[in-house]
Chains A and B, each alone.
Chain A
């Protein structure tokens, strides 16, 4: 599978959606594209023609502000016509700036406030276990999100209940709204923290399709434990002048910048 071509298509759509609507969170969306590409085109057991199949894997975008990337990935995977992406953050459009359950097929839960995805995912994981179902629940979080106490409440809960059908993924781009994550509220040692909370943790380059694919192909990482994949990423990945730059959490593209960005994704 040509992940890189798919990821390029998704990035182009994200750029267009964010440019057209003049909305924030471009860097956060681009950061997660490669992870979403591997999930939606390889890992998740899902069927775009039957998006509510009761045995489907569940995916929760807990960093709901990267909604543009999720919508673009879902459209690319065939969950809904790509024209719907034009309604991203537009008056009367279908796609809100934070992913909202049911806005289009494939969006499982409503998010937008950080620290909500993992607890909901843990509830789904308990239900799956009690029902004897084999589906898995994937939660994509941001690094800044790990500052929320509710993430750690859920981390305790998931390991206590041995939810090895629950997989947390952290898009660790090391930037949050005001600056470097480790300068605002240091998360390190992040891997050790999750291990201490009873999770089996792996770390990968969050832009290496093969590393992401390899690690997510063997779930759980350890039987009886929830799995956590720390993806080291670059905020704004894919467009050189946006990469690892704080201002692109909020900043809008000018027409010149938009054209330049598209050129890089040719």
Chain B
């Protein structure tokens, strides 16, 4: 009855395919290409041929020559990669656990459920830069957090702050901002769990903790996997949180100790060093790809559909 309508379908898909060809697929190939070009200049689109050096330069292994001296660019290895890894492995697990607890709590209370859900969702509809600036006021050396904890004058993120303290402030902000999306996803997952499982647990006098670990978490595993994959990818690419909260590359003048990998990539565009930026982007892509593949592999054993 329904006939194949090939050409018509391609007409409907036309806009999407053209736009994606220009702004998604071509850039993907082109960026990989640029990563292998020596001394590429995007203004003139000229280069000195094919090279593997860019990856070495990004990782601080190959030096670049400038007026007779060889410089090693170590910002990525020393700051960008460690910072990104800290963000990934601190904020993702913590925010996932906290939002899971909040979602389970919200799911079990009889009163104020709707209003609580709304409150917990508010951070989602805010501007990452704007709220980052609010957190900068909270974490000011004369700010409210120092006032409450009795350490007025010790900087968190202002010039002269230690890298550790700045990273703590950054992680707190990222976790705060990551909660609403995860809570919402978990809540929609919890709504789909059959009440029978909990009744069975009640008859067996299972403790609340056991119910959580043996029923809720396994039945919620598809949502947990989804949240983990999206937030791992997201935090590997963290950039706006740093710009919003700290607004510069480092906690002291000229320092780049607040660099993340993506921060570095964007900086290369302004410095006309996109071949290094491209190399870093390719490396980041490979890491994310490997990480996502690993999660899917683990999920085959751990996720119950």
Are both chains from one complex?
A: no
